[in-house]
Amino acid sequence: MTQQPNGRPDRTQRRKKQTRGALIKAAQGFIAAGTFNVPVLEITQAADVGMGSFYNHFDSKEALFNAALDEIFDGYGALLDRLPEVADPAETFARSFRLTGRLFRRRPQESRALLNSGLTAVLSDRGLAPRALRDIKAANRAGRFQVADPELSLALAAAALVALGQLLFDDPGRDDAETTDRMAADLLRVFGVPAEEARDICGRPLPSLDELVENGSAA
């Protein structure tokens, strides 16, 4: 990226970044609404950019939608990476799941976009899935989980997360934190953690979401 002598990107590069960001945000809005068959013109109008600007950044609508989802995955992944480390890999997995469950209400547009993209999107090789698989394998090696097929366990956790998100959107009066923690405890039990211990792990305090977001902004 071209930079000015003070090390900041020049005005043209800033405009390009803003345009790309506006297109991605508009695409996320359409995905969240379940509107996939939308003309490029309508996307550019929602982003308030010119039609020509679209093709300066993306070859196709599909490329834009993929980039929009990738940005959500990468953002969620970066948030999980800012969680302080704990010694127990079973708790590491549980904390990530519990935190992600709380994001459904905190980031509704992004979360609806993920849900409308289906289970395949949640199992993407970016963001949540690779980190969850890493934690499942680590807990297995440590003897905390007793799973024969980590990839199958990942698919189970992903399906549970999607179902959780849909439940929270369908029932806005439901307590999202309590529901998420109960589902996380159930997953731990399925993976081999004793029931009482699973409930204890999923009842422990979580780091503040606001602080995690602020730490990322400061970086």
Fold of 67-205: Tetracycline Repressor; domain 2 (1.10.357)
Main-chain phi, psi angles of 3, to 5 degrees: -125, 155
Whether the pLDDT of residue 31 is over 70: the answer is: yes
Q: How sure is the predictor about 2, in pLDDT bands with cuts at 50, 70 and 90?
A: low
Question: What does the pLDDT look like over 67-122, one tens digit per residue?
Answer: 888 888 888 888 888 888 999 999 999 999 999 999 999 988 888 888 888 777 77
User: What whole-number distance in Å separates Cα of residue 122 and Cα of residue 114?
Assistant: 7
Q: How sure is the predictor about 217, in pLDDT bands with cuts at 50, 70 and 90?
A: low
Contacts of 12 (CB under 8 A, 6+ apart): 2
Domain segments of the chain as ranges: 11-65, 67-205
DSSP string over 132-183: HHHHHHHHHHTTS---S-HHHHHHHHHHHHHHHHHHHHH-TTS-HHHHHHHH
Domain 11-65: CATH architecture, name and number where available: Orthogonal Bundle (1.10)
Q: Is 67-205 the same fold as 11-65? A: no
Highest mean pLDDT among 44-48, 71-75, 209-213: 44-48
Question: What does the pLDDT look like over 165-192, one tens digit per residue?
Answer: 999 999 999 999 999 999 999 999 999 9
User: What whole-number distance in Å separates Cα of residue 87 and Cα of residue 97?
Assistant: 17
Contact 182, 174 (CB under 8 A): no
Q: How sure is the predictor about 132, in pLDDT bands with cuts at 50, 70 and 90?
A: very high
Q: Percentage of residues in the chain with pLDDT exceeding 90?
A: 56
Q: What is residue 216's predicted lDDT score, i.e. its pLDDT?
A: 57
145: left (phi over 0), alpha (psi -120 to 50) or beta: beta
Q: What is residue 5's predicted lDDT score, i.e. its pLDDT?
A: 56
Question: What does the pLDDT look like over 101-115, one tens digit per residue?
Answer: 999 999 888 888 888
Q: What is residue 154's predicted lDDT score, i.e. its pLDDT?
A: 95
Q: Is 97 exposed, middle or buried (0-12, 13-18, 19+ CB in 10 A)?
A: buried
Contact 181, 172 (CB under 8 A): no
